[in-house]
């Protein structure tokens, strides 16, 4: 009996050992590198550690991103106790600019066939602190390039990758295919898909840890709702639209006090636009030209310029929108499909909506008791300082006068004092 129990216990232990499957954490980055991406990757590293995963695989396809976010990601890689594998995939994907830094910083760098890496010259990684078409001076440009070169050199040295090529990716915007990257020891391996990648990783020693990835269970870590929302928000197009909503809402509230909703929506949009402006490389000159355009639109409502200021506002708004972000950089390029309609809509908004509203406020009153001032009417009773009666606009009114007025005499309404009209003899 004891022997039977011992055998049963050994069988259960063996079964448990067989059932236990190693885990691999996986995330997918497809798009620009920004604050939401950095937060997502840092959180995924923590979750992979909590799951006791063999490694964290980051499937990457990016045109580049922001320097601050890239530095945060690189720091999280270098400080991670879980091996981080960056896999540039699927076929046709790129690890450009910030993606090049991230790939080189990984514990294991892998690429799918027909993918590319490189072009890490500091354009979107910092470059112009004011953004837009304005270029930094030669001294600042050289400082930025030297920093980027030394930064990628330090990363490549830490990961024992091709330092010379890494420096050329920054200085010369060098870009190479997956096969060339493997040949130059920029990356560690090429894999057609995740299954092949796991086979090649199995048994590989990374940071003194032997990976056990053969037959491992892949657990994908999804972006959280806030990360997903912000990843979609931090785009030049979104900031541009938010800025327009803020303009329409706040000015609409100022011209129609008490509407409340336009003001609330405009204030929320303004706060979000200012937050994005602190992250995206915005050109101050572009903002100034847009502000000038709004002033010209409003001035033209009051000035007898017959549309000259409005035309100047349209031109100023168009140029400001073109300069708002760097059109030379695809990552932060604001499309003309946004700029041209926005210019036309904004001009129409000020000319037809705000313009007509402001002019209506300046027009004389056309309804109410005030409209009776200046009208003439015959008295129904004698009128003096104590009062009398007249009939005007279909109603009987009490009337008073500083001088006595006879019944039937024609008088002119001088003012309205509550429910009493003050009249005077016509012509006096």
CATH of the domain at 379: 2.40.50.140
* pLDDT at residue 16, rounded to an integer: 43
Rounded distance, CA 318 to CA 131, Å?
Answer: 17
Tell which residue, 154, 155, 129, 127, has the closest CA to residue 142: 127
**Is residue 191 located within the same domain as residue 288?**
no
**Is residue 221 located within the same domain as residue 240?**
no
Sheet holding 388-392, edge to edge: 376-378, 410-417, 420-425, 395-400, 388-392
**Is residue 55 located within the same domain as residue 198?**
yes
Among 344, 362, 380, where does a domain finish?
Answer: 362
Extract the residue ranges of the chain whose pLDDT is less than 50.
Answer: 15-19, 124-136
* pLDDT at residue 222, rounded to an integer: 92
**Is residue 158 located within the same domain as residue 195?**
yes
**Is residue 341 located within the same domain as residue 391?**
no
Tell me the pTM.
0.67
**Is residue 325 located within the same domain as residue 343?**
yes
**Is residue 213 located within the same domain as residue 156?**
yes
* pLDDT at residue 298, rounded to an integer: 73
Tell whether 4 is covered by a domain: no
pLDDT tens figures, 314-355: 888 888 888 887 655 666 677 788 888 888 888 777 776 655
**Is residue 257 located within the same domain as residue 374?**
no
pLDDT tens figures, 214-242: 888 999 999 888 888 887 777 788 888 88
Tell which residue, 144, 92, 100, 135, has the closest CA to residue 120: 100
**Is residue 244 located within the same domain as residue 217?**
no
pLDDT tens figures, 245-299: 888 887 777 666 666 787 788 888 888 888 787 777 778 888 888 888 888 877 7
* pLDDT at residue 127, rounded to an integer: 37
Whose structure tokens read 């991406």?
37
Handedness of CA 206, 211, 213, 219 (dihedral sign): negative
Domain count, the chain: 3
Q: Provide the residue range defining the domain that includes 213.
A: 20-228
Tell whether 222 is covered by a domain: yes
* pLDDT at residue 7, rounded to an integer: 57
Length of the chain: 428
Rounded distance, CA 270 to CA 249, Å?
Answer: 9
Tell whether 331 is covered by a domain: yes
* pLDDT at residue 363, rounded to an integer: 52
């Amino acid at each position: 009996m004891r022997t039977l129990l011992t055998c049963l216990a050994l069988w259960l232990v063996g079964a448990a050992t067989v059932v236990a499957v190693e885990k691999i954490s996986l995330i997918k980055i497809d798009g620009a590198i920004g604050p939401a991406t950095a937060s997502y990757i840092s959180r995924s590293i923590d979750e992979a550690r909590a799951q006791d995963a063999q490694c964290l695989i980051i499937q990457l396809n990016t045109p580049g991103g922001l320097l601050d976010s890239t530095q945060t990601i690189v720091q999280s890689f270098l400080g991670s106790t879980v091996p981080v594998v960056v896999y540039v995939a699927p076929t046709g994907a790129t690890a450009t600019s910030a993606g090049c830094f991230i790939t080189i910083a990984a514990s294991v760098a892998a690429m799918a066939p027909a993918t590319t890496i490189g072009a890490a010259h500091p354009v979107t990684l910092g470059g112009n602190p004011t953004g837009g078409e304005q270029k930094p001076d030669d001294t600042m440009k050289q400082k930025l390039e030297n920093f980027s070169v030394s930064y990628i050199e330090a990363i490549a040295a830490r990961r024992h990758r091709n330092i010379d090529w890494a420096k050329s990716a920054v200085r010369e915007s060098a870009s190479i295919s997956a096969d060339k990257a493997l040949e130059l020891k920029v990356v560690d391996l090429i894999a057609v898909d995740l299954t092949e990648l796991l086979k090649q990783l199995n048994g590989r020693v990374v940071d003194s840890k032997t990976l056990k990835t053969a037959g491992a269970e892949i657990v994908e870590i999804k972006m959280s709702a806030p990360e997903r929302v912000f990843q979609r928000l931090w785009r030049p197009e979104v900031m541009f639209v938010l800025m327009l909503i803020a303009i329409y809402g706040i000015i609409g509230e100022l011209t129609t006090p008490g509407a409340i909703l336009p003001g609330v929506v405009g204030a929320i949009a303004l706060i979000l636009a200012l937050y994005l402006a602190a992250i995206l490389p915005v050109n101050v000159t572009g903002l100034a030209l847009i502000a000038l355009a709004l002033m010209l639109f409003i001035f033209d409502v009051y000035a007898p310029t017959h549309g000259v200021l409005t035309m100047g506002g349209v031109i100023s708004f168009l140029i400001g929108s073109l300069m708002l972000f760097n059109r030379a950089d695809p990552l932060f390029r604001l499309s003309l499909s946004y700029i041209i309609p926005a210019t036309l809509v904004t001009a129409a908004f000020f000319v037809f909506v705000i313009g007509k509203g402001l002019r209506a406020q300046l027009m004389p009153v056309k309804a109410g008791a005030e409209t009776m001032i200046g009208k003439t009417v015959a008295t129904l009773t004698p009128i003096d300082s104590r009062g009398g009666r007249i009939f005007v606009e279909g109603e009987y009114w009490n009337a008073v006068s500083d001088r006595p007025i006879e019944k039937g005499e024609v008088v002119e309404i001088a003012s309205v004092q509550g429910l009493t009209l003050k009249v005077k003899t016509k012509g006096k």
